[in-house]
Amino acid sequence: MNLMLWMHDVYYHYIQLVMSPVCRAMPREVGGVTVFTANIVTYGRTFMCLLIAYYIKIGCTGAAAFLVIFHDFLDHVDGVVAKVQREDGRAAGDDGRWGAFVDAQCDKIVFITCLWTIIMCID
């Protein structure tokens, strides 16, 4: 268990290292419209559950597995986005509690949708 926790911490450290400069370079707003926040990343990865479910349903397990891994990567990226935008002041008006709530609920939506799809396909 300690090895798994250590591996997760190393993985997240490298995601932070690589993605922080990318997140700093991304504009939060374009033409007065907010286009890049941690919550927007969370909403986007939540909609991925539809693609994951579709690929499971049609038997493309490789594509589904890739999207699940990409979903996990984006789950870490939304935390990096929140941290970077909080540090540079762009997230001054954001409510961190709402973001944490949305992140947790969207994780559950994706998990339940994928699990339901697998159960339906097996049955």
How far is residue 30 from each of residues 26, 33, 36, 83, 99, measured CA to CA in Å?
A: 10, 5, 9, 20, 21
- Whole-model pTM? 0.81
Rg, C-alpha atoms of the chain: 16
**pLDDT for the residue numbered 16:** 92
For the chain, which residues score pLDDT lower than 70?
123
| pLDDT 10s digits, 78-89 | 989 989 988 888
Question: Nearest 5°: phi and psi at 88?
Answer: -90, 5
Question: Residues 110, 45: contact at Cβ < 8 Å?
Answer: yes
Question: Nearest 5°: phi and psi at 27?
Answer: -75, 140
Tracing tokens 């798994």 back to the chain, one arrives at 4
d(CA 38, CA 101): 12
| pLDDT 10s digits, 86-109 | 888 888 888 888 988 999 998 898
d(CA 108, CA 62): 22
**pLDDT for the residue numbered 70:** 92
